[in-house]
Amino acid sequence: MRGPHNIVRLVRTLATLERAGAIGVVLEAFSAPPRLRVLARVLGWPFAWLGLRGDPALPPLTRAITALGPAYIKFGQILSTRPDIVGDELAEQLRYLQDQLPPFPIAIAKGTIEAELGIRVDQAFSEFSEPVAAASIAQVHRARLADTGAEVAVKVLRPDIERAFRKDIDAFYFAARVIETLAPSSRRLRPMDVIAHFEGVVMGELDLRLESSAAAEFAANTEKDVGIQVPRPLWYLSGRRVMTLDWAEGLPLADNAALDAAGHDRQVLGARVLQLFLSHALRDGYFHADMHQGNLKVAANGDIIAYDFGIMGRIDEYTRRVYAEILMGFIRKDYRRVAEVHFEAGYVPADRDIDEFARALRAVGEPIFGMDASRISMSRLLAYLFEVTERFGMQTRTELILLQRTMVVVEGVARRLDPHINIWEVAKPIVEGYITKNVGPLATLRDLRETARVLARFGPRLPRMVEAILIAQATPKETAPKPAGRRVWPWVLAAAALAGGVAIGALL
């Protein structure tokens, strides 16, 4: 489907923004240069009649995004958490996209449940409400189990949502290919790989069996954590298009007035959201990757309630250590170490000057260190960071996209709760705790012990492996003779296994 017809889709996107009066809003929010403003208006105005009409009752940008479809709504949800980038008024308008989209009829939801689970809705639930929340992919109903009387949340996918996402993603692929062709310098950002990553994330979100699994794993990981509640899935009432979870009662995290009226300390909540994210990312390597306000509530006791586990992030132990050392370097203002970690991890090409990179990082860190969020221009900071990545030839790391995206969203959520939050001070205890346990002599010993255990698994197979290698090398072949040195390495393997055995004896 990634053919020329996607040109029409992209033209319609620009036309829809123009028809809704949103182009000027977007360009103004991002402080676009004059040339880009003129180009956008010239290209958009002649085709405005092709644009989707949308809901005239909505503000311009919200109207355009909801008309364009679910993939665009996902991007709008991210912007809704960043009033420091798009402005308070625009961010407030975009919060509509988090959980207030038009619902589909309850009859369709019930039909989906009965077709997916093979049971009648009135047999499974004694009560089943109208939609209580509707987002880009699914809507949620409040229900009561017929057998136990417990309250639950029932999430049902929108009709034909898979087809709608596929159309958007195909258009995104086409746009990425055009960008790479017309602007070769953009290839370091790997737009095609970024879209492929987005596709994988979204298509996984469209199978609620995977979300049920994610909810169960996340609940298990956070079971002993203080300050967070995670509802658990009911597997017998969940399937590919339907998911049932324990009901979690709480106030919307986006409603500052309600939080204040209930006596919650928003400074504490802001710090808690940021620290919980860092703790899960560093400690578990598994984190909620869609933590906008629409997916978070506050319980009566002040706990953060997390739900909607369609997008989860996972990073390996090595990446966690790199990420922690980078954060710790910024916290300690050790920009040389931050630069070294980037080079060691391969994030910056080895032929670049490490001292110059450290100096560029200092220009990033110093203006925001020790300052509260209200005095930081995140839009200018992001613009400078982009300049730095371009100057030093840094490529997009698809394995870090979810981590970086979630960090931006979570910081935006924390800023909304506490406009004066100091992200470095809040992050410091979490990062220091991780560094103490996972970087240093104790971590080295733990790594050696794990290496020994892995080698031990091959112990029973080692004699046969070495024998097979020796026989293979001794067998005449109709190929050019191999250098004698090649025959040494089986003995190196044996020596390594012996060293592993010694390590096992010493460490275990």
Q: What is the SS3 assignment for 149?
A: coil
With a pLDDT cut of 70, the percent of the chain lying above it is 78
Residue 432 has pLDDT above 70, yes or no: yes
Q: What average pLDDT does the chain have?
A: 80
Q: How confident is the model at residue 501 (pLDDT cuts 50, 70, 90)?
A: very low
Contact 166, 71 (CB under 8 A): no
What would the two tokens of residue 274 be? 């940021």
Lowest mean pLDDT across 179-183, 225-229, 253-257, 402-406: 179-183
Residue 500 has pLDDT above 50, yes or no: no
Contact 250, 301 (CB under 8 A): no
Burial of 226 (0-12, 13-18, 19+ CB in 10 A): exposed
How far apart CA 241 and CA 104 sit, in angstroms, is 14
What's residue 495's pLDDT? 45
DSSP characters for 208-234?
HHHHHHHHHHHHHHTTT-TTEE-PPB-
How far apart CA 276 and CA 137 sit, in angstroms, is 26
- The pTM for the full model equals 0.74
What would the two tokens of residue 84 be? 């420091």
Torsional sign, CA 317, 320, 326, 328 = negative
Catalytic sites, residue numbers: 290
What's residue 26's pLDDT? 73
